């Protein structure tokens, strides 16, 4: 973990050595934005940046937690297990995990935890999911909890939905719990069936943070979820997953134009996930550029979750001859772009795109992949 040199160690914080260590990666989504809470398909992959949790057991019913990313002093935050309450910043994510465990009948006797993360907050790369999955992995190790990787993901989602109040879908924690670098996780968010799909060796990933932060807990993300739910109600279906484009055309008179565009994005994005999976399986790289272009256009125009800074990054990437495809990744309203590049060209492409973006916007982006 890349931490400041002055950050206190676990031993300095708690006066003893940690008993267990666990990590979990952030993720970038290759295709399938805003489809997970509509019971659709997603295709994330893990990024090199990870969150690490060092942990030791306690027996006094309390949790003491320190984060290298938000704490300014050497004093850990503390709360009583079973008395979790919203409103304590980063600690809400930890409290959300312990409350979710308690609601599942798993009562912890207490623990000390030190958290450090390389996953940038606000970049759309699942920093919160990496935290919850890493913490749950550490608790599983320390207390011998009977949790498989899928259950860990579902508990992580519940922690964010309930105590934190962020209406995230299941993709982020499933990706953090199951995805690996060099492969994509093809996930059906309705059934939770998944497949690991290798990324062809001829391409590599570039991920650049635009420098415009986003948050799942803010109103715009919630508004898109509510719009999808309203479209379902007007069309008489439980989920947009239950519709085809032909169904949508037939039901269009029942929908306001805005809701029609929201639903059209979800349905076409599901189809693009399936098409990208087929292209990866067969190594058909030539099929990818129009799919990435269509996805970004759909998020920009139909779902309206892109912003000018992200559009600029995508346009600069698309102008590069070695780029296969580029698009906004994550929930939108800022965040990062994912770029597919010819193998061996990632570092050079990332440097040129980042330099041109800063020159035109005055905002320094952050190249996250490849890692310098």
Q: Are strands 77-80 and 62-67 parallel, antiparallel or unpaired?
A: antiparallel
Given the residues 36, 172, 302, 318, select the one marked as catalytic.
172
Q: Are 318 and 326 in contact (CB under 8 A)?
A: yes
**Residues 41, 187: Cα–Cα separation, whole Å:** 6
Closest to 184 measured CA to CA, from 68, 274, 67, 112 = 274
Rg (CA), the chain: 21
Q: Is 39 a catalytic residue?
A: no
CA angle, corner 203, sides to 202 and 206, nearest 5? 160
H or E element, residue 234 = helix 219-235
Identify the bridge partners of residue 197 per DSSP, sorted by sequence position: 184
Please classify residue 5 by burial: count the beta carbons closer than 10 Å to its beta carbon, then call 0-12 exposed, 13-18 middle and 19+ buried.
exposed
H or E element, residue 132 = helix 127-143
Q: Which residues are catalytic?
A: 172
């Amino acid at each position: 973990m890349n931490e400041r040199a002055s950050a206190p160690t676990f031993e300095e914080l708690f006066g003893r050595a940690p008993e267990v260590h666990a990590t979990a990666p952030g993720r970038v989504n290759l295709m399938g934005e805003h489809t997970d809470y509509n019971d659709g398909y997603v295709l994330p992959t893990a990024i090199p940046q990870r969150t690490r949790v060092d942990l030791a057991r306690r027996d006094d019913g309390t949790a003491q937690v320190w984060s290298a990313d938000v704490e300014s002093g050497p004093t850990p935050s503390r709360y009583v297990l079973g008395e979790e309450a919203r409103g304590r910043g980063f600690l809400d994510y930890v409290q959300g995990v312990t409350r979710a465990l308690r609601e599942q009948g798993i009562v912890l006797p207490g623990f000390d935890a030190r958290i450090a993360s390389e996953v940038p907050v606000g970049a759309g790369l699942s920093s919160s999911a990496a935290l919850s999955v890493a913490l749950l992995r550490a608790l599983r190790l320390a207390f011998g909890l009977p949790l498989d990787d899928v259950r860990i993901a579902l508990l992580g989602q519940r922690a964010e939905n309930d105590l934190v109040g962020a209406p995230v879908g299941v993709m982020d924690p499933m990706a953090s719990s199951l995805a690996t670098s060099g492969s994509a996780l093809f996930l059906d968010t309705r059934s939770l069936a998944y497949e690991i799909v290798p990324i062809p060796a001829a391409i590599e990933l570039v991920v650049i943070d635009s420098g415009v932060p986003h948050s799942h807990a803010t109103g715009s993300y919630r508004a898109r979820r509510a719009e999808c739910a309203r479209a379902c109600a007007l069309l008489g279906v439980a989920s947009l997953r239950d519709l085809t484009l032909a169904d949508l055309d037939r039901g269009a008179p029942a929908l306001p134009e805005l809701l029609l565009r929201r639903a059209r994005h979800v349905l076409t994005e599901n189809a693009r996930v399936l098409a990208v999976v087929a292209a990866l399986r067969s190594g058909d790289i030539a099929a990818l550029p129009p799919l990435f272009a269509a996805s970004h256009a759909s998020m920009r125009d139909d779902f309206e979750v892109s912003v000018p800074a992200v559009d600029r990054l995508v346009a600069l990437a698309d102008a590069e001859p070695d780029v296969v495809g580029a698009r906004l990744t994550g929930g939108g309203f800022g965040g990062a772009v994912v770029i597919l590049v010819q193998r061996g060209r990632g570092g050079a492409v990332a440097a040129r795109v980042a330099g041109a973006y800063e020159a035109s916007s005055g905002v320094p982006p952050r190249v996250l992949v490849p890692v310098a």
